[in-house]
Amino acid sequence: MAKLQSSLLFLFLLLLLTPTQQQQKQPQPHEAEHDDPISRFQNYLRINTAHPTPDYASAVSYLRSQAQSIGLEAQTLEFSPNKPLLLLTWRGSDPSLPSILFNSHLDSVPAEPSKWAHPPFSAVRTPDGNIFARGAQDDKCVGMQYLEAIRGLRAKNVRPIRTVHVSYVPDEEIGGFEGAAKFAASEEFRGLNVGFALDEGQASPGEEFRVFYADRSPWHVVITARGTPGHGSRLYDNSAMENLMRSVEIMSRFRESQFDVVKAGRAANSEVVSVNPVYLKAGIPSPTGFVMNMQPSEAEAGFDIRLPPTVDPDLVRKRIAEEWAPAWRNMTYKIHEKGPLRDYLGRPLMTLTDDSNPWWSVFKEAIAAVGGKLAKPEILPSTTDARYLRQLGIPVIGFSPMTNTPILLHDHNEFLKDTVYLKGIEVYESIISTLSSFQDASH
């Protein structure tokens, strides 16, 4: 009897210590997160790389681990302190051919959590398949799609003829001066022998993929007016505020003339010069606000100006000097050019999108192969790191494969639908496979 009781006690303890069959089959959260492309995308989105304190180290570590899991070479470069740049390489069978570069940026713009339906770095996936996160469209999607596409091609035993590089750069959202600009000017970049590159684009609300052959170049212009200070009741010619207001009126008329062209359908928004006032600084401060019975001796305004590559920048400089801030009205100005305007041969920073560019023809072929359609090539209204590559004479296409998707970059509740993300992986598989096997780019 004692022996039987001991046996029963042993079995009871064994049952307590052994997980049930159901428990054994229950996956742990971290195990499920590495099983599929969507989970890996969510993992990347959860890394907070928003300015002013982007967590570059965690992002690079995660991407590097993913790259190494599929057998890609990886190296971390640092052209500025604490601003790492990750470079991945998939060696082609003919390294003498110019390589293909796929570029993406690590950083994101800030988010206001109180304005979001879900925390901006939680990467919540709703029942209808929308993945909410800062960077979901701009542009962590393409950064992960590059990797997933290569993962899929390697699983099919595809071997590229051309070498494929993937770069993840810092600081794009604040100009790229410490990231892509220094990378493009480096010995390491010259050693890559890049013949063609893809960078980010924008979502398309329609059925066609949007594609961009150029960016607009930003100028930050600060205009300062000076004049005689005096009592608020007196009338002066050429007072500081009068001169500044006159300039604002002239610039507003120019802005209106450009906008009229857009409204009439004769040009896209990105094809005209945009002029937008962003701040005004004037007046004499007081403990309760400003002194109301004194006219200030100085007034200042700042403007965000965007120039398409089709516009002669010298003509814009002339307009600023002679009309918007003329010295004879006691005005001065400063132009802060935020990046290059011309390539090394003095040409506008544009990539040809016709049959004279063999890369364009092959790119179109890759899109057609997966049933995709391209919209009319555009100039991007904003600015990307592609300009630093175009400055070297390298053809670059801006492209983010998102159709039937609202444009939400830099917006509250930025999201990307899971089916759109997965379709983008398929598109990049076709692009990488087609471009890397293309041998004749001698034109």
| pLDDT tens, residue by residue, 412-439 | 999 999 999 999 999 999 999 999 999 8
105 is in an annotated binding site: yes
CB hemisphere CA count around 359 (13 angstroms): 20
8-47 residue pLDDT tens: 444 444 434 444 333 333 333 333 445 799 999 999 999 9
Q: Which domains does the chain have, with CATH numbers?
A: 37-215+348-437 (3.40.630.10), 217-307+311-334 (3.30.70.360)
Provide the pLDDT for residue 7.
Answer: 46
- Pairing relation of β-strands 99-105 and 194-199? parallel
For residues 57 and 39, give the distance between their C-alpha atoms in angstroms, rounded to a whole number: 20
Strands (E), 216-263: 217-226, 230-231
CA–CA separation, 122 vs 124, rounded Å? 5
* Whether this model's pTM surpasses 0.75: yes
| Cα dihedral 321/325/330/333 (nearest 10) | -80
Which candidate, 239, 243, 205, places its Cα nearest to that of 223?
A: 243
- Tell me the helix, strand and coil percentages in the chain, rounded to 5: 35, 25, 40
Give Cα 26 to chain centroid, integer Å.
39
pLDDT digit string, tens, across residues 72-104: 999 999 999 999 999 999 999 999 999 999 999
- 165 known ligand binder: no
Inter-CA distances, 138 with 133, 321, 388, 434, Å: 10, 36, 19, 25
| Residue 118 is assigned to a ligand binding site | no
Rounded distance between C-alpha atoms, residue 125 and residue 222, angstroms: 44
CA dist 9 and 350 (Å) reads 80
Cβ atoms 47, 58 nearer than 8 A: yes
Q: Is residue 388 helix, strand or coil? A: helix
Instruction: Give DSSP secondary structure letters for 134-194.
Output: TTTTTTHHHHHHHHHHHHHHHHTT---SS-EEEEEES-GGGTSTTTHHHHHTSHHHHTT-E
Query: What tens digit of pLDDT does each residue of 369-400 get?
Result: 999 999 999 999 999 999 999 999 999 999 99
Sheet holding 164-169, edge to edge: 73-78, 84-90, 164-169, 99-105, 194-199, 396-398, 212-215, 378-380
Residue 362's pLDDT band (cuts 50, 70, 90): very high
The confidence band for 352, taking pLDDT boundaries of 50, 70 and 90, is very high
Q: How far is CA 73 from CA 43, 90, 126, 164, in A?
A: 21, 7, 35, 11
Q: Report, as an integer, the average pLDDT of 260-279.
A: 96
Which has the closest alpha carbon to 370: 436, 296, 422? 422
Instruction: Calculate Rg over the CA atoms of the chain.
Output: 28
Between the alpha carbon of residue 83 and those of residues 109, 139, 206, 405, the distances in Å are: 16, 18, 37, 32
Task: Give the chain's end-to-end CA distance (angstroms, integer).
Answer: 94
Q: Is 138 annotated as a binding residue?
A: yes
Distance between CA atoms of residues 12 and 15, nearest Å: 5
Percent of the chain with pLDDT over 70: 92
- Which positions are annotated as active-site residues? 107, 172
Give the chain's largest Cα–Cα span: 116
Q: Tokens 């970059």 identify what position?
A: 409
Q: Using alpha carbons, list the distances in angstroms from residue 303 to 129, 273, 327, 333, 432.
A: 40, 12, 18, 11, 40
323 secondary structure, DSSP code: I
- For residue 189, pLDDT over 80 is answered with yes
pLDDT band at 442 (very low <50, low <70, confident <90, very high): low
Q: In the 8-state DSSP scheme, what is residue 36?
A: S
